[in-house]
């Protein structure tokens, strides 16, 4: 299986960021669509993508794609796919489904038909009438959109946002994948200061530290495909060894994390310790209006309360004013704020240079981007 078609599912609005990450991994046969990025690789690509993709939700093996407007077409075409190339005889293969703008709109019916078709195909490869499903997990998805069915197997297991370091809870946390996406969109680099004055459980500064030190976000967790006999264990060992070797574990970073709520700072610090980057982040209890830095060309990325899930409307709007005041005192800094508040710019007192629609969970937000100057290039002495 030297040529495998893979799908990295992506949060809406971050598809281009996921594609850029995949390209940086060395895979350039890429197709970007709404909610997913398809690319071609081998078994090692499965391991690398799971370990390294910071903004993707999952990595899927694409088994087949075809048009289907009747249940008979769905059954026949599913049965024709090479399932035994991936599924051993004891595989656990539950089928999940979704359907958007398609004639086959009954998701439970589609799931049942796909399951039966796979079983019939497996009977052709294994001398069995029933399958015990006691082995490794191969979660299968049938996704039908505009009457085109895509059949895939999930290699990740739990979503890739589950890095393994965030074990304590606070109200309205941002997903790790979205946090990483905001940082990558900011084009922050580790030679610049980074700040989050509304750090909550610490996700944004922790993701910044992982990016700054080039630490693969999946190093502290496992993946479903690690248990698959179709992918040699040496592949995973190689991918993990590569990730360890490329990490800059002791790189000095200037990352500041603060919050007015003193109860969340110990939680954020604990999560940073779990992620192995506690030494890279300075934590402080402090209101946003008191943020100050003498170091130029920094980058503030923050996900403040919106007034929808936490925080009263007036206090949220006061906070936005405080962020605008902090920005006015740092003319070489760049500022990036994610919020669903429709009048954010009014309280920040500055029109954004650029806005990007993103979703925090199911909440439609705007990512307000204020670009400061880039640091001057240092002269290289001969």
Neighbouring C-beta atoms of residue 302, cutoff 10 Å: 24
| Angle (nearest 5°) at CA 176 between 170 and 180 | 135
Q: How far apart, in whole angstroms, are the C-alpha atoms of residue 205 and residue 278?
A: 10
Whole-number pLDDT of residue 202 = 97
Q: How far apart, in whole angstroms, are the C-alpha atoms of residue 138 and residue 211?
A: 30
For 40-93, what is each residue's pLDDT tens digit?
A: 999 999 999 999 999 999 999 999 999 999 999 999 999 999 999 999 999 999
What are φ and ψ of residue 189, in 5° steps?
Answer: -125, 150
Distance of alpha carbon 248 from the chain centroid: 21
Cα–Cα distances (Å) from 114 to 83, 107, 118, 149, in that order, read 11, 11, 6, 11
Average pLDDT over residues 181-204: 97
| Angle (nearest 5°) at CA 179 between 171 and 168 | 35
Whole-number pLDDT of residue 313 = 85
Q: How far apart, in whole angstroms, are the C-alpha atoms of residue 178 and residue 161?
A: 8
Residues 6 or more apart whose CB falls under 8 angstroms from that of 7 comprise: 36, 37, 38, 59, 60, 61, 62, 150, 152
Average pLDDT over residues 200-218: 98
Is the pLDDT at 380 greater than 50? The verdict is no
In the chain, where are the structural domains located?
A: 4-154, 176-215+248-370
pTM of this structure:
0.94
For 304-351, what is each residue's pLDDT tens digit?
A: 999 865 557 889 999 999 999 999 999 999 999 999 999 999 999 999
Fold exhibited by the domain 4-154: VC0802-like (3.30.2130)
Whole-number pLDDT of residue 1 = 53
Whole-number pLDDT of residue 170 = 81
377 pLDDT band, cuts 50/70/90, is confident
Is the pLDDT at 143 greater than 90? The verdict is yes
Whole-number pLDDT of residue 172 = 75
Average pLDDT over residues 129-141: 96
| Angle (nearest 5°) at CA 13 between 219 and 98 | 85
Fold exhibited by the domain 176-215+248-370: Rossmann fold (3.40.50)
Q: How far apart, in whole angstroms, are the C-alpha atoms of residue 115 and residue 151?
A: 11
Q: Which residues of 11-42 are buried (b: 16+ CB within 10 A; e: fewer)?
A: bebbbebbbebbeebebeeeeeeebbbbbebb
Average pLDDT over residues 116-142: 96
Q: How far apart, in whole angstroms, are the C-alpha atoms of residue 43 and residue 161?
A: 22
Q: How far apart, in whole angstroms, are the C-alpha atoms of residue 336 and residue 339?
A: 10
What average pLDDT does the chain have? 95
Q: Which of 151, 139, 163 is nearest to 50 (CA)?
A: 163
């Amino acid at each position: 299986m030297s040529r495998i078609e893979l799908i990295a599912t992506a949060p809406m609005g971050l598809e281009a960021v996921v594609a850029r990450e995949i390209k940086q991994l060395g895979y350039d046969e890429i197709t970007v669509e709404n909610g997913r990025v398809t690319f071609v690789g081998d078994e090692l690509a499965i391991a690398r993508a799971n370990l390294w993709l910071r903004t993707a939700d999952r990595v899927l093996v694409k088994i087949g794609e075809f048009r289907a407007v009747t249940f008979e077409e769905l059954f026949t075409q599913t049965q024709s796919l090479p399932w035994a190339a991936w599924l051993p005889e004891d595989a656990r293969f539950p089928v999940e489904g979704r359907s958007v703008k398609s004639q086959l709109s009954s998701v439970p019916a589609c799931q049942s038909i796909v399951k039966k078709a796979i079983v019939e195909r497996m009977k052709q490869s294994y001398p069995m009438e029933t399958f015990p499903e006691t082995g490794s997990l191969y979660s299968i998805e049938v996704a039908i959109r505009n009457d085109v069915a895509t059949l895939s197997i999930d290699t990740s297991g739990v979503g890739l946002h589950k890095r393994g370091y965030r074990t304590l809870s606070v109200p309205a946390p941002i997903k790790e994948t979205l946090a990483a996406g905001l940082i990558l969109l900011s084009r922050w680099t580790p030679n610049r200061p980074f700040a989050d004055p509304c750090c909550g459980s610490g996700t944004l500064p922790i993701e910044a530290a992982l990016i700054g030190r080039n630490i693969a976000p999946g190093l502290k967790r496992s993946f479903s495909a690690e248990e698959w006999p179709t992918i040699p264990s040496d592949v995973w060992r190689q991918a993990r060894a590569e990730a360890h070797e490329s990490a800059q574990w002791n790189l000095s970073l200037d990352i500041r994390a603060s919050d007015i709520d003193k109860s969340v700072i110990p939680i954020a610090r604990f999560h940073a310790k779990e992620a192995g980057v506690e030494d890279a982040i300075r934590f402080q209890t402090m209101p946003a209006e008191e943020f100050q830095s003498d170091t130029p060309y920094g980058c503030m990325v923050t996900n403040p309360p919106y007034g929808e899930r936490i925080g009263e409307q007036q206090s949220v709007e006061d906070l936005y004013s405080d962020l605008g005041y902090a920005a006015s005192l740092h003319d070489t800094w760049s500022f990036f704020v994610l919020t669903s508040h429709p009048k954010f710019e009014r309280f920040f007192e500055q029109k954004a240079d650029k806005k990007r629609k993103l979703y925090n969970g199911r909440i439609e937000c705007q990512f307000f981007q204020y670009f400061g100057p880039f640091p001057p290039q240092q002269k290289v002495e001969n």
